Structures are given as structure tokens and as C-alpha cells.
């Protein structure tokens, strides 16, 4: 199975060769939560920007941010890795009501962080 960084490298490498399939390739990444994060979230924005004629660097930047930075509103669960490699982790089980939703939000944050996402609660 390819890692996310390896997929990014492949996409950037073939971007210059096959720009027509860029948008499709940008949306191939798998997400553990396909209904809410990742390709299903990024695809509409990337399609709009692509059709509006935005440059390649903008498309790559938007794709990266939409697929790697996750905002979890109504929770205070953070999973962020600093440039130095430190992992900032914060949970607030009581910040989300009911308690089961808070526990599920923490579990989701853990899974997304494990798959390389930066989670901001």
C-alpha cells in the first residue's frame, strides 16, 4: 500500500506530463471517513478551481490543505505535529455532549492523526 507522501510525490511527478487527469488523481486518496473528509470534501473545491483556470500550484496547495488539515468543530480534540516532530495532543471529553459523542470525536481524531492528518478541534 502506498503512503500518503509517496502518493503526493507521484501526483506532483506526473502533473507536468498529464495535466488533464490531475483532478482525478488528486482525489484518489483514501480516507477512513470518506463521507466527511478527504476526496469527497476536496473534489468540489478542486473542480471549481480547475474549471476557473487556477494555476497548478494553487490546485496542489488546496488539495494538500483539504486532505491533510482537518477541523473538528464542537470538540476540543487536537492532534497536531509540529515542524520539530513534537506531537501536540489535547482531549476534552466533556466539551461535547452527549459523552458518547465526545468519546467518538476523540476516537476519530486518533484515527485521522494516525493516517497523517493534522486535527484541530
- Domain limits, the chain: 4-68, 72-120
The closest alpha carbon to 30, from 59, 3, 9, belongs to 3
- The residues that bridge with 18 in the sheet, in sequence order, are none
For 50-65, what is the HEC assignment? HHCCCCHHHHHHHHHH
pLDDT digits (tens, 9 = 90+) for 36-70: 666 677 888 899 999 999 999 999 999 888 888 88
pLDDT at 3 over 60: no
Q: What whole-number distance in Å separates Cα of residue 7 and Cα of residue 81?
A: 20
Distances (CA, A) of 107 to 28, 66, 92, 99, 119: 24, 20, 12, 13, 12
Q: What is the pLDDT of residues 67-87, one digit of tens each?
A: 888 888 888 899 999 999 999
Amino acid at each position: 500500500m502506498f503512503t500518503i507522501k509517496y502518493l503526493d510525490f507521484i501526483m506532483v511527478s506526473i502533473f507536468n506530463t498529464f495535466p488533464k487527469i490531475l483532478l482525478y488523481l488528486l482525489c484518489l486518496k483514501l480516507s477512513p471517513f470518506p463521507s466527511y473528509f478527504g476526496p469527497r470534501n476536496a473534489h468540489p473545491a478542486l473542480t471549481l478551481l480547475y474549471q476557473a483556470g487556477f494555476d497548478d500550484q494553487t490546485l496542489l496547495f488546496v488539495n494538500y490543505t483539504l486532505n491533510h488539515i482537518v477541523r473538528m468543530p464542537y470538540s476540543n480534540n487536537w492532534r497536531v505535529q509540529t515542524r520539530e516532530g513534537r506531537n501536540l495532543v489535547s482531549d476534552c471529553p466533556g466539551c461535547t455532549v452527549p459523552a458518547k459523542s465526545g468519546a467518538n470525536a476523540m476516537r476519530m481524531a486518533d484515527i485521522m492523526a494516525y493516517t497523517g492528518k493534522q486535527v484541530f478541534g
